Amino acid sequence: MKIFLLIIFCSTAFLADAQPTDLLNTAKGCTYMTKEERDMIQEINLLRSNPEGYIKYIMPMLIAAKKDLSTYGKGAANYSITTTTSTLNGKTIKTVDTTWHFINEENVKALTSLINDLKNSKKLSILQPDSGIYLAARKHATDQHTHEWKLSHVGTDGSHPWDRILKYSPSMSDGNENIGMISGTASVRDIVILLLVDAGIPGYGHRYNILDPHWTHAACTGENYKSMYYWWLQEFGARQKK
């Protein structure tokens, strides 16, 4: 099982918010979440309800990325870190891989592949909110905040995302998590898109978490850190089949 961490620095929002239908606002009455947290579930549902229709929000970014590549070349070298966690003979094995890429070149590659993925994606399940999954998200957010957001996906108690989700929401059979950070001001849509694009992340793990067809429930939480950085957790769960 691969888990990923995406860190994005930006100073302005890429796109203006739209108003999706109330049918996608499944967390509307969940007062245990903030409005912004509820809005993120709504935005994810907007994407999942019509993946191909979401391309209109991505295309301006691809046009801009191609222009940067043409004007400035491949761009500066950068890297991403991928952590692979597996269990062998009852022992947890963690492998950390560093992958280098050129920023402008990778942006075009990631955006192009995203548009192709959205074109080929069928309508996905609309995610319902879940208070247990939200508790799992808040537990890890609190743990991360205490430890300067250096924990990645593994808590100080050794728990992985699926461990926390199944503990706090026993009706789930599976779960996973996205973590992303933005420096500066950005809308919920910006954050969802940045995790969808997933530039620099081998395998685009955040993207395929969001587009995973077997998820049935979700919760999101945001945490401001040192007034400069805003961290987001997106938690996904699949309810046990009866």
> What's the confidence (pLDDT) of residue 95?
75
Cβ atoms within 10 A of the Cβ of 64, count? 14
* 153 touches 160 (CB < 8 A): yes
Hey, is 154 helix, strand or coil? coil
pLDDT higher than threshold 60 for residue 11: no
**Positive or negative: CA dihedral 159, 164, 166, 172:** negative
pLDDT digits (tens, 9 = 90+) for 12-34: 333 334 445 689 999 999 999 99
Q: Please, what sign has the CA dihedral across residues 164, 166, 169, 173? A: positive
Predicted confidence (pLDDT) at residue 187 exceeds the cutoff of 90: no
User: What pLDDT is attached to residue 222?
Assistant: 85
For 87, phi then psi, to 5°, come to -120, 130
pLDDT in the model for residue 226: 72
Contact 118, 112 (CB under 8 A): no
Q: What is the pLDDT of residues 72-96, one digit of tens each?
A: 999 999 888 777 666 666 677 777 7
* Lowest mean pLDDT across 112-116, 122-126, 186-190: 186-190
The pTM for the full model equals 0.85
pLDDT at 216: 98
**Is there a contact between 191 and 5 (Cβ–Cβ < 8 Å)?**
no
pLDDT one-digit tens code per residue, 35-74: 999 999 999 999 999 999 999 999 999 999 999 999 999 9
How buried is 15 (Cβ within 10 angstroms: 0-12 exposed, 13-18 middle, 19+ buried)? middle
State residue 229's pLDDT score. Answer: 79
- Which strands, in side-by-side order, build the sheet including 128-129? 6-9, 172-183, 229-239, 217-225, 128-129
Q: What is the pLDDT of residue 231?
A: 84
Residue count of the chain: 242
pLDDT of residue 209: 96
C-alpha to C-alpha distance for 111 and 99, rounded to whole angstroms:
18
Residues 6+ apart with CB under 8 A from 143: 151, 155, 156
In this model, does residue 4 exceed pLDDT 80? Answer: no
